[in-house]
Structure 1
Amino acid sequence: MMAQKLGVPIDLVVKFGGSAITDKHQLESLRKDNLVSAAATISHCVDHGLRCVVVHGAGSFGHHHAKDYEVNSGLHGTAEEVKRRKYGMCLTRLSVTKLNHEVVRSLVDVKVNAIGMSAIGVWVADNGEIFRHGVNGILELLDNGFVPVLHGDCVLDASKGCGILSGDVIIKTLCKEHLVNRVVFLSDVTGVFDKPPSETDAKHIPKICVDGNGRIMSAISTSCSQHDVTGGMLLKIRTATDIVTNSGGKTNVYIAKVGSNSVNAICLGQDMENLDQTTLTEIVYQT
């Protein structure tokens, strides 16, 4: 195994949200303009010498199959149910790897040395919790000048047989195992609102304060797509606050709209004071 530079932090982890790069209401449909914009952001960061990791959601490439075949329920039940879920697992993986190819292609097209990495066979869960992870493989690719591109995936589960591993859990595990300077979640909306942004009286929240116990100091009401088997926006917020809490505020976390005028500056770690605060939400550690 190659020696790893354990003292070198990951500068940036960027999550391409499933709702940002796909149309969740239409099976296997890309939002190409957003994907191109997200890829351009990574290219900009790599050109500035940042060590970057990309993780993307599944969106309409996977959630539909996983939901329809109840993949997250595991390989229990009658022989027919187990057979059906195994088949559903294969369909789900076929779909998410198709999206991963599109994401990697978008990065390679702008001269980013991107390498797709699937979780299955490396990451293993136990009743939904991480039992074995693939962080070392991510670090090895980074140390050799590549941009790893991971995604939400089906994985084996020691207790259930199989399950769904979300991209958010991958990011959370990566931040737990290695120092990450910044995490940026690219969304289809301008950060977090106090209620679903589709509601006319929804108000944007520029900062979410979280204390050392992980308590969120903001009132937030969320909703998720009927096909989302990984928790929707609530899981994204919980993941973001957990990262900040677990790192004691060392990891800076933001949620921003893909393509907004603040994204590149956030990713590069530039001064927040000069940014349009209406285009993002910052997760702030409060002692």
Structure 2
Amino acid sequence: MRKVTYVLKVGGAALTDKNTGRSFVSEVSDYVAADIRKGTRIIVVHGAGYGAHRFVRSRGMRRAADNQADWARLRRNVSKITATMIDRFIAYGHAAIELSVPSMVRTSSGRITEFNLYPVKAYLDMGFVPIMHSDAPPDSKYGVSVLSGDDIAVYLANMLGAKALIFGIDIDGIRSSDGRILKAVRKQNIGKLYTWDVNDVTGGMKRKLAEIGKLRAGTSAYIISLRKRGSLSKVLYGKGAGTKIY
């Protein structure tokens, strides 16, 4: 029997502090790598971090390829996060491997129209941990456009029949309007939830919840803190953590 598949989205909010710019990439990478048992069938998609969002805004890069050097610089900087993550995974005994989103994906107006899943499936079946990041694939309308890691993660979860899609951020889950962390929410109720601004170019928590609403029946979503060791392992191995959306 084939093992169940998990998709983990490591959010930019977990990787960098949006107010100070402080990086938590090494710490979060360690926590994630330590929490995954060897042999777990999991795909990791990570965000770009607050610095990249600020760069995109400052250069007006959302939907055009007018400045190729800026796009190249941005992608290079985000790839440094991937490299750190892979180094930490390997140190913990996981065969992590980077997959290039622009090599597999095409978009139109910023939405996925094609996704060659063969490399993802092949590496998963061989026991690797595929890692990819929010990116700027070729776009039939804009030349290139920013593709959110959330979009990538939801697409993969749906197409691969994942058991769960896990969003890692900087706090323990979804806050209610009075500041409490909600333990569980039904998918049909996510439109009623209080959300907060995380000041990123891919839509923040409100858009994340909208993407969760597109998950196929049978796939749950969790929103957890990746700034704490152990949160991910609780979700992967049956104890639960953060906010579950089902």
TM superposition score normalised by structure 1: 0.78
Matched, 1:13 2:13: no
CA deviations 1:122-164 (Å, max 9, x no partner) are: 2111111112113221111111111100110111100111101
Aligned 8 A contact 1:61 1:99 in 2: no
Identify unmatched segments of 5+ residues in structure 1: 1-6, 76-81, 196-200, 273-278
Give distance in 1, aligned partners of 2:136 and 2:22.
17
- Report if aligned partners of 1:186, 1:255 keep a CA contact under 8 Å in 2: yes
Give the 3-state SS of the residue equivalent to 1:58 in structure 2.
Answer: coil
CA contact (8 A) 2:109 2:142 kept: yes
1:216 aligns with 2:206: no
Q: CA deviation at 1:242?
A: 2.0
- Once the two structures are overlaid, the 10-residue window that deviates more, 96-105 or 256-265, is 256-265
When Rg is computed on C-alpha atoms for both structures, the one with the higher figure is: 1
Distance change >3 Å, CA 216–CA 28, structure 1 → 2? closer
Alignment size in residue pairs? 245
Is 2:17 aligned against 1:23? Answer: yes
What CA distance in whole angstroms lies between the structure 2 residues aligned with 1:90 and 1:100? Answer: 15
Q: CA 1:159–1:10 in structure 2 vs 1: closer, same or farther (change >3 Å)?
A: farther
The runs of 5 or more residues in structure 2 that have no matched partner are none
SS of equivalent residue, structure 1 residue 137: helix
Once the 2 structures are TM-superposed, how far is the Cα of residue 25 of structure 1 from its aligned partner?
A: 3.9
1:256 equivalent to 2:224? Answer yes
Q: CA deviation at 1:221?
A: 2.7
Residues in 1 aligned to 2:98 and 2:22: alpha-carbon distance in whole angstroms: 18
| Identity over aligned pairs, percent | 26
C-alpha displacement at 1:167, in angstroms? 0.9
Does 1:116 find its partner at 2:116? no
Give the aligned residue type for 2:85: V
Trace 1:266-285 onto structure 2 (pairs within 5 A).
266-268=235-237, 270-272=238-240, 280-284=242-246
Q: CA RMSD in A?
A: 2.1
| Secondary structure in structure 2 of the residue aligned to 1:282 | strand
Query: Could you tell me the TM-score, scaled by structure 2's length?
Result: 0.90
Match of 1:206 in 2: 183
Note if contact 2:171-2:225 (Cα within 8 Å) is conserved in structure 1: yes
CA distance in 1, matches of 2:2, 2:58: 42
Displacement of 1:261 in angstroms is 4.5
Partner Cα separation in structure 1 for residue 49 and residue 70 of structure 2:
16
Contact (CA 8 Å) 2:25, 2:84: kept in 1 or not? no
Using the TM superposition, name which of 258-267 and 118-127 deviates more. 258-267
Alignment of 1:44-193 (within 5 A): 44=37, 47=38, 49-60=39-50, 62-75=52-65, 82=66, 84=67, 86-193=68-175
Tell me if structure 1 keeps the 8 A contact 2:62–2:146.
Answer: yes
Query: In structure 2, do the counterparts of structure 1 residues 134 and 144 end up closer, same or farther at CA, with 3 Å as the change threshold?
Result: same
- 2:222 is aligned with what amino acid? Y
